[in-house]
Amino acid sequence: MIAYLDANIVIYFVEQNPTWVARVTARLAGLRSAAHDIAVSDVARLECLVGPFVSGDVTVLADYAAFFANPAIRVLALPGAVWERAARIRATHHFKPLDALHLATAVEHGCGLFLTNDVQLSRFPDITVEILM
Q: What is the pTM of this model?
A: 0.97
With b for 16 or more beta-carbon neighbours within 10 A and e for fewer, the 63-89 pattern comes to: bbeebbeeeebbebebeeebeebbeeb
pLDDT band at 109 (very low <50, low <70, confident <90, very high): very high
- Neighbouring residues of 103: CB distance < 8 A, sequence distance ≥ 6: 86, 89, 95, 114, 121, 124, 126, 127
> Strands of 73-76's sheet, edge to edge?
73-76, 37-41, 2-5, 113-116, 129-131
Please, what is the Cα angle at 128 between 87 and 113, to 5 degrees?
A: 95
CA–CA distance, 15 with 1 (Å, rounded to integer): 26
Q: What digits encode the pLDDT tens for the residues 3-39? A: 999 999 999 999 999 999 999 999 999 999 999 999 9
pLDDT at 133: 85
Domains for the chain: give ranges and CATH numbers: 2-131 (3.40.50.1010)
Residue 113 CB: number of other CB atoms within 10 A?
18
